[in-house]
Amino acid sequence: MAQALSRLPSEVVALGVTTQKQSPTFAVMVTPYSPDGRYDGLYLRNYANIKIKDELARLPGVGQIRMFGGGDTDSSDTI
């Protein structure tokens, strides 16, 4: 942390920096699907992003929600 902090612009340091522990393994993986094929991966990803992601993030012990696949490749959120 100290090494990275010393390389950040002073404006960033002044605003504050937070760190988060991270495990390299998945504890749980959720895969939404459409049993009748009615909804494609993009639709299901959007639904999970709007309706499921925040609910899962509020559960005790959940550190991070990461979403994979479905077309949108924003790496900041993954389930």
Q: What is the dihedral of CA 42, 46, 47, 50, to 10 degrees?
A: 170
Residue 79 has pLDDT above 50, yes or no: no
Pull the structure tokens for residue 53. Answer: 């992601």
**Domain-embedded: residue 77:** yes
- Give the model's pLDDT for residue 70: 60
Which residues are bridge partners to 66 per DSSP? 78
pTM for the structure as a whole: 0.55
- Give the model's pLDDT for residue 29: 80
Query: Domain range holding 73?
Result: 20-79
**Domain-embedded: residue 13:** no
Cα–Cα distance measured from residue 25 to residue 62, given in angstroms and rounded to the nearest whole number: 13
**Domain-embedded: residue 67:** yes
Cα–Cα distance measured from residue 23 to residue 50, given in angstroms and rounded to the nearest whole number: 25
Model pLDDT for residues 27-41, shown as the tens digit of each residue: 778 888 899 999 998
Q: Which of 35, 28, 39, 9 is nearest to 66 (CA)?
A: 28
50: amino acid identity, one letter: I
- The total domain count for the chain is 1
Model pLDDT for residues 19-75, shown as the tens digit of each residue: 777 666 767 788 888 999 999 988 999 999 999 999 998 988 787 888 877 655 444
